[in-house]
Amino acid sequence: MALARELDPGTTPKILCPFQNLPFDIHYQIAVYLEYADILKLSATNHFLHNHLNVQTLLPKHQRNQYLYKTERYGYRYGHRGFGGRWPCYECGRILEKNCFGDRMRRYEKSWFRKSLMMRRCWDCAVREKWYGHLQPIKKGGEVFYLCWRCGELWNEMEEERCRKVDVWIKVDDVHGEKDPGRKCKVTVCNGQM
């Protein structure tokens, strides 16, 4: 009976290895000396290190972007992309499917220049950073969407009537930040702002 209790993982206390018992400051100092790929491998060893060694916060963004760029460019030599047909977002660092990027960001697929390739952003980051104009048509997979900066929603033409409530006339410089106060555009007010 005692032997069965010792083998049951639910009754035995969890014992941390000596490396996990070290304080976070020492983990941070170790992470500073490691390469980006090595930190990823170390954080993938168990749940504790995955939660404790967050690569997004430990390393600067340019070091992560260099790793993503090198990994992506390495695959071109052998006829495939570095991430198996998926693309990295150079803002948030996630590796996503091709359909998670807008048509404008897909132009950077064939670019050989580092600067233009590192401008690629996923939909979430491009909307958050306002890479697309307010209520300007955006193409994604051949379908046209409209981005509202006020509520952050993407609408296609079918959802436009449901998501918009009232048509109003306002100055372009109030919405777009342009300096020509004489021009006016027809802009609709979102449900979230009413």
Name which of 58-67, 103-112, 182-191 the model is least confident about.
Answer: 182-191
Residue 174: pLDDT over 60: no
Residue found under tokens 């436009």: 160
Structure tokens, 190: 């979102």
Kindly state the helix (H) or strand (E) to which residue 131 belongs, with its residue range. none
Other Cβ atoms less than 10 A from the Cβ of 123: the count is 21
How would residue 126 be classed by pLDDT, with cut points 50, 70 and 90? confident
Alpha-carbon span 123 to 97, nearest angstrom: 11
Q: Please give the C-alpha separations between residue 30 and each of 20, 22, 43, 66, 107, in angstroms, as whole numbers.
A: 12, 11, 12, 20, 38
Number of helices (H) and strands (E), helices first, in the chain? 12, 7
Average pLDDT for 29-45? 84
Among 118, 120, 109, which residue's Cα sits nearest to residue 76?
A: 109
pLDDT score recorded for residue 131 = 79
Average pLDDT for 59-74? 81
pLDDT score recorded for residue 8 = 58
Residue 121: pLDDT over 80: yes
Residue 27: pLDDT over 70: yes
**What beta strand segments (E) does 55-121 contain?**
87-88, 95-96
Residue 112: pLDDT over 60: no
